[in-house]
Amino acid sequence: MRTDDWTTPLAWNRVHRYRQRVLEVPRGLSAVPETSGSVLPRGFGHSYGDSCLNADNTLLDTRGLNRILSFDPETGVLHCEAGVTIGAVQRYATPYGWRLAVSPSTGLASVAGSVAHDVHGRNHIFAGSFGHHLLEIELMRSDGRRRLCGPGADDQLFRATVGGMGLTGLITTVKLQLRPVKSSFINVETHCHTDLSQLMAHIDATADTHEYATAWLDLVGRQTFRGVLEIGNEGPGERSFPQDRFQPRVPFDLPRLCVNRPHMHAFNLAYFRLCGRKKPGRVSYQKYLYQMDSLGDWNRLLGRKGFYQYHFLIPAAAVPDGLPRLLDAVRSSDNVAVLAILKRYGPSAAPGMMSFPVHGVGGAFDFVNRGERTLRLFHELDELMIELGGRVYLAKDSALDPGTFKLMYPQWTAFREFVDPRFSSSLWRRVTGEEP
């Protein structure tokens, strides 16, 4: 179906309201559609920033490309169309004893969207990022050519497309290597900490023993530190046939004023106490990996004007000095971090030119959109990141300026050589300062 009307599809953070044309990509498309202006492929719009937006231009909606084309239960090789969701792959493969080696914390992202941001999960230290498990990508370029690329085949185009933010062409199909699993469950433990250095030492101590690790932080209280480390391993047990779970949805935008420091303080205290009482236990992979999907449209809880996420990564050598400085900057700011998560990143070489992960510690902090006030904090944090040699994740970004982007991703000039001349995005124009 083709529509020539302007609409305002949003990114997950709901900050930008841009007019865009949306073309649904039909199965069997033979060429990139002719449009005035540029095109950008789009999956489920689960990127937090403008990497999935193309203001005043066209989006190619790939959600209809939703078929699993083949699966070999002996080898775990799965071939699917671009718009198949992460959750659908998991539900399909789990009963055969296979799952994605790497998954973001949502099952509602598409496979191609996960390639395009080279997404990572809570197990980066064990499994690397999404691109490490790709065997082949089929890419449609605007010159009419279909290119098959993968590790060892058109290697440079492959490295540009993994983490390439949809700018190297339209991904039509993806071949993936899944990992074998014994069960549908993950064994999980939670540990409460009131000291950052102890929490970090605990994270380090689990690097060889626990595949999954994330830490929740309370950055609202200015005096006391509170953190909860959640660690886990794939569990033994039976393999079930996972079903689509009932998902209640947030029906309206919560007024922004509800998300204030006293409310968040009370919430965080209650959450910390609750975690202190949790016993180690077995949790279904869906509940563990996709906790955030259990409440549909939860982004509406953060108000009509949306929210910003600061998703950063500090290289390992700079963590002892840099992380406390970053947390202090957030805690002393007049912006409230409504959710703050830390993750560890392993030393594996990044599969994509523009991939985000490097060896170190990263985090994702959510802030209600308070306009300039929030952006001032982000620019302050950006300056610290530059000093520490860190970077911001482009899948979550809405605020980087061109100077900062070019310092964080100096490889952008090599990447630019692979950008298809008809493809562009709001993010790309913002961070490069270039028009298509």
Give me the least distance between CB of 236 and ligand FAD, in Å please: 25
Distance between CA 416 and CA 68 in Å, rounded?
32
Give me the least distance between CB of 21 and ligand FAD, in Å please: 15
Give me the least distance between CB of 379 and ligand FAD, in Å please: 23
Distance between CA 377 and CA 183 in Å, rounded?
44
Rank residues 43 and 76 by Cβ distance to ligand FAD and give the closer one. 43
Rank residues 11 and 331 by Cβ distance to ligand FAD and give the closer one. 11
Distance between CA 131 and CA 348 in Å, rounded?
11
Sorted by sequence, the CB contacts under 8 Å of residue 3 that are 6+ apart come out as 21, 22, 23, 24
Contact 46, 27 (CB under 8 A): no
Rank residues 62 and 286 by Cβ distance to ligand FAD and give the closer one. 62
Compute the half-sphere exposure of residue 4: CA atoms within 13 Å on the CB side of its CA: 3
Burial of 278 (0-12, 13-18, 19+ CB in 10 A): middle
List residues binding ligand FAD (CB under 6 A). 12, 40-47, 51-52, 62, 82, 104-106, 109-110, 112-114, 116-117, 119-121, 165-166, 170-171, 292, 395, 425
Give me the least distance between CB of 421 and ligand FAD, in Å please: 15
Distance between CA 169 and CA 146 in Å, rounded?
9
Give me the least distance between CB of 247 and ligand FAD, in Å please: 12
DSSP state at residue 20 = E
Rank residues 122 and 193 by Cβ distance to ligand FAD and give the closer one. 122
Rank residues 126 and 225 by Cβ distance to ligand FAD and give the closer one. 126
Burial of 295 (0-12, 13-18, 19+ CB in 10 A): middle
Rank residues 43 and 235 by Cβ distance to ligand FAD and give the closer one. 43
Among residues 128, 131, 106, 107, the alpha carbon closest in space to that of 117 is found at 131
Give me the least distance between CB of 279 and ligand FAD, in Å please: 25
Give me the least distance between CB of 328 and ligand FAD, in Å please: 25
Among residues 423, 421, 417, 379, the alpha carbon closest in space to that of 401 is found at 379
Rank residues 96 and 271 by Cβ distance to ligand FAD and give the closer one. 271
